[in-house]
């Protein structure tokens, strides 16, 4: 009976996860095949030549988890409305996003799904407020916004994504290839209605800026990225990934390698930790069905910190990141594209 329950749960997760594609598609495409940061984020619709600088998203999410010690369950409905005005000139634009997650169902004794605030409460939040200046090969972002850095990302595995506040400057030296440097001070987590200082978020009574650098080089069939994050007297992290696409017997394969590292620095206010992890992933097709297999290996005795984001492990699932000390994992799956609006992601 237990094995049948597991099979049913496997396909239930596959069915539900089409709304949260990052869960099933984490892998080489996590940051390498995202749209370039240099792209203008204004994606407003145009109706008969009249610009409409608004974009609405709707999301519903049901989550049930049966643990040995307790159950977690909630059903939420919400989404976001973004306003993307051009300011002063075509080189300066803004972005304001109001988002909400409201309870449809959520027993008080089954809290903890992170679809809602603690206590199974719905919430509304000003999720983004940012300005962007774009000129030739330079791009400057300032304010709170959704980010796609492997070490500072949206962690979009529930109802609302995380957003971070800061400023970064980017230089695009070729198409989809750039160098970036930024400083950040606050975070709005996935089930929170307020921004807090980054150090406060992880339990420290101090205010410090966190700085980071992002670098990516991409060609038609290859990409390499290197990302770095530094928090004074606490945290040092880096992530690097290499990806290549190749053809064998008229079949296209995508092969990726990743390495992640975290360690304490300076006064080490968070204690001693040293985390190292490697991973590899192969994407391919079988009779036209997109398939993949991934492998990850935690090389260290320490667990990942994951302080301000969920890190992009190749084999992450909704409830398991496979990042515990000395843990190895193998993940296989397919992507069933039933229609343009519906994909299923069975994994094992």
The 10s digit of each residue's pLDDT in 188-232 is: 999 999 999 999 999 999 899 999 998 989 888 998 999 999 999
pLDDT at 220: 86
| Burial bucket for residue 66 (CB in 10 Å: 0-12, 13-18, 19+) | exposed
pLDDT in tens, 1-33: 444 444 334 333 333 333 333 333 333 334 433
User: Model confidence at 319, in pLDDT bands (50, 70, 90)?
Assistant: confident
User: Model confidence at 73, in pLDDT bands (50, 70, 90)?
Assistant: very high
User: Model confidence at 79, in pLDDT bands (50, 70, 90)?
Assistant: very high
Minimum mean pLDDT range among 3-7, 39-43, 120-124, 304-308: 39-43
Element (H, E) at 63: strand 54-66
Q: Please, what are the domains in the chain?
A: 2-344 (2.40.160.10)
Q: What is the mean pLDDT of residues 133-154?
A: 90
pLDDT at 325: 95
Pairing of strands 177-188, 210-218: antiparallel
Contacts 24+ apart (CB under 8 A), 249-256: 251/284, 251/285, 252/284, 252/285, 253/282, 253/283, 253/284, 254/28, 254/282, 254/283, 254/284, 255/28, 255/280, 255/281, 255/282, 255/283, 256/27, 256/28, 256/32, 256/280, 256/281, 256/282, 256/283, 256/314
Residue 18 DSSP SS3: helix
pLDDT at 176: 77
% of the chain surpassing 90 pLDDT: 56
> Does pLDDT of 64 surpass 80?
yes
> Does pLDDT of 262 surpass 90?
yes
pLDDT at 29: 39
**What is the C-alpha separation between 212 and 150, in angstroms, rounded?**
11
Instruction: Select the highest-mean-pLDDT range: 260-269, 305-314, 335-344.
Output: 260-269
With beta carbons less than 8 A apart as the criterion, state whether 257 and 280 touch: yes
pLDDT at 127: 95
For the chain, what is the mean pLDDT? 84
The residues, ordered by sequence, that sit 6+ positions from 66 with a Cβ below 8 Å of its Cβ are: none
User: Model confidence at 52, in pLDDT bands (50, 70, 90)?
Assistant: low
> Does pLDDT of 41 surpass 50?
no
Minimum mean pLDDT range among 47-56, 82-91, 141-150, 245-254: 47-56
pLDDT at 48: 44
**What is the C-alpha separation between 252 and 284, in angstroms, rounded?**
6
pLDDT at 26: 37
pLDDT at 292: 92
**What is the C-alpha separation between 139 and 341, in angstroms, rounded?**
33
pLDDT at 51: 55
Quick one: how far is CA 55 from the chain centroid? 20
Element (H, E) at 336: strand 328-339
pLDDT at 91: 86
Higher pLDDT, 67 or 162: 162
Higher pLDDT, 6 or 262: 262
pLDDT at 164: 96
Higher pLDDT, 181 or 44: 181
With beta carbons less than 8 A apart as the criterion, state whether 272 and 19 touch: no
pLDDT at 21: 38
pLDDT at 88: 72
> Does pLDDT of 254 surpass 50?
yes
């Amino acid at each position: 009976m237990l094995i049948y329950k597991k099979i049913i749960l496997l396909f239930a997760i596959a069915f539900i996860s089409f709304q949260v594609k990052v869960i099933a598609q984490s892998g080489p495409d996590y940051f390498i095949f995202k749209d370039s940061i240099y792209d203008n984020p204004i994606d407003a619709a145009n109706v008969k030549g009249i610009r409409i600088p608004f974009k609405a998203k709707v999301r519903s999410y049901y989550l049930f988890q049966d643990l040995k010690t307790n159950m977690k369950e909630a059903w939420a409905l919400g989404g976001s409305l973004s306003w993307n005005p051009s300011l002063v000139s075509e080189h300066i634009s803004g972005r304001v996003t109001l988002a909400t997650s409201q309870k449809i169902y959520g027993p008080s004794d089954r809290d903890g799904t992170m679809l809602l605030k603690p206590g199974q409460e719905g919430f509304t939040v000003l999720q983004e407020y940012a300005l962007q200046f774009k000129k030739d090969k330079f791009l400057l972002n300032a304010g709170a916004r959704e980010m796609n850095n492997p070490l500072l990302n949206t962690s979009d595995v529930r109802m609302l994504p995380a957003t971070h506040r800061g400023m970064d400057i980017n230089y695009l030296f070729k198409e989809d290839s750039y160098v970036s440097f930024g400083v950040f001070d606050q975070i709005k987590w996935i089930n929170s209605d307020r921004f807090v200082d980054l150090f406060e978020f992880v339990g420290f009574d101090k205010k410090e800026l966190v700085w980071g650098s992002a670098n990516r080089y991409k060609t038609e069939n290859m990409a390499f990225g290197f990302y770095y994050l530094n928090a004074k007297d606490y945290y040092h992290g880096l992530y690097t990934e290499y990806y290549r696409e190749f053809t064998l017997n008229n079949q296209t394969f995508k092969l990726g390698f990743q390495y992640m590292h975290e360690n304490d620095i300076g006064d080490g206010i968070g204690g001693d930790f040293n985390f190292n992890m490697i991973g590899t992933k192969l994407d391919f097709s079988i009779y036209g069905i997109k398939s993949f297999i991934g492998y990850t290996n935690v090389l260290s005795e320490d667990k990942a910190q994951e302080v301000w984001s969920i890190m992009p492990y190749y084999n992450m699932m909704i409830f398991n990141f496979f990042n515990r000390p000395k843990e190895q994992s193998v993940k296989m799956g397919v992507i069933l594209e039933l229609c343009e609006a519906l994909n299923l992601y069975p994994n094992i």
